[in-house]
Chain A
Amino acid sequence: MNTKEIEGILQRYYDGETSLAEEKLLKEFFSGGDVPPQLRLHQPLFRFFTMEASETISEDNQDEILIRKLEQYKRETSSVVKSHPGKKRLYYLSGIAAGLLIMLGLIFAIKNETLKRHHDEAVRTSTELAFLETRQALLMVSVGLNTGLDAVQHFTTLDNAIGQVHKFNKFNIYQTQFINPEWMQTPSINK
């Protein structure tokens, strides 16, 4: 692999146009000992990549970490399971309670409002009402009075009757005059 070719690949490498195979070739080239001076600038980059790719996780404390993680999970899940039903029920109950409170409040408010409106109306029409009441009372009185008048009507009948009787009386007087014994005894006409 000559320097010219490598330079060409490098150019395309920095432009992001190389294939994985070409990049592997670059890594191999720069890990070798004989890199021409004009290309040495890029050497640490590819050496770094090669070296980093071989880094592995240390197995020493992996089990320890895993156990710690699992215990953490167990704690989390168990606490979730334990607290779940009670918490859920509490949520529902608080929701229901809040709903009831809102409904009660609304009912109370509406009731209050309508009562107030009625009261206002009553005050507004109280003079009218007083007038109506008075008229009602007066009407009642007048009706009562009329029933009294009916009774009074009988007096007129009695009066008539008395008038009749009076006539009769007049007749009687006339009769007594007519059957005056004096007249009987002495016919005044003939006199």
Chain B
Amino acid sequence: MNLQDFNIKIYPLKDKIFRFAKRMLEQTEEAEDIVQEVFIRMWKQREKLDEYRSLEALAMVTTKNLCLDKLKARKFPVESWNGQRQFIEAIAEEIRPDYSDIIAGVKEAMSSLPEQPRMIIHLRDIEGYGFDEIAEILGMQENAVRVALSRARKHIREILITNRSYEYQRN
């Protein structure tokens, strides 16, 4: 694979990788770092890339692994700093006019999901991947993906119902 192939086949994945990383890390800067890291890793093994069936799946697997590593490394010490970061980003989101409270509630509900169902619902409902692709990226059985997806969707629905009842109480 030469630079031109790389630019055609892998570079356009940058937004997908970014969104996936941001969903996992909930932080723009770190997600941007992950994108470049994934590109570098892919470039380093460019000789072997032709052997892979799906470069997109490979890129997403790499993203997933890097994000999980980062989350593992993060655990406690950075928590407070990360909280601040999230607060600043929340303010930035509020400035966006189309980002209503209710949609922010969905985002919160997504954040409350554990890593795996969050990845599944992101890959399916935001990126529109098929079950086979999700199974490949996450290293799961297709059926398990389906079950986890259903559970995650219902979990979000529960939160939406609770939020709405609060809103009724307020009004």
Contacts and interface: CB of A to CB of B under 8 A. Distances in A.
Given A41-B164, A48-B106, A57 B37 contact: no
Contacts of A51: 98-99, 103
Nearest to A10: B157
A16 B153 contact: yes
A57 B157 contact: no
A49 B126 contact: yes
A65 B32 CA distance: 8
Given A15-B150, A16-B147, A65-B33, A57 B130 contact: no
Determine the interface band of chain B, counting residues with CB < 8 A from chain A: 35 or more
A23 B128 contact: yes
Interface in A94-120: none
Interface stretch (A66-74, A85-93, A131-139): A66-74
Contacts of A65: 32-33, 36
Contacts, number: 81
A59 to B, nearest CB: 9
A25 interface: no
Determine the interface band of chain A, counting residues with CB < 8 A from chain B: 20 to 34
Given A14-B150, A57-B18, A69 B36 contact: yes
B149 A23 contact: no
Interface of A: 13-17, 20, 23-24, 41-45, 47-49, 51-53, 55-58, 61-62, 65-66, 69-70, 73
Interface of B: 14-15, 18-19, 22, 31-33, 35-37, 39-40, 98-100, 102-103, 105-107, 110, 124-128, 130, 146-147, 149-150, 153-154, 156-157, 160-161, 164
**For the complex of A and B, 4 pairs with smallest distance between CB atoms:** A16-B150, A57-B18, A48-B106, A44-B102
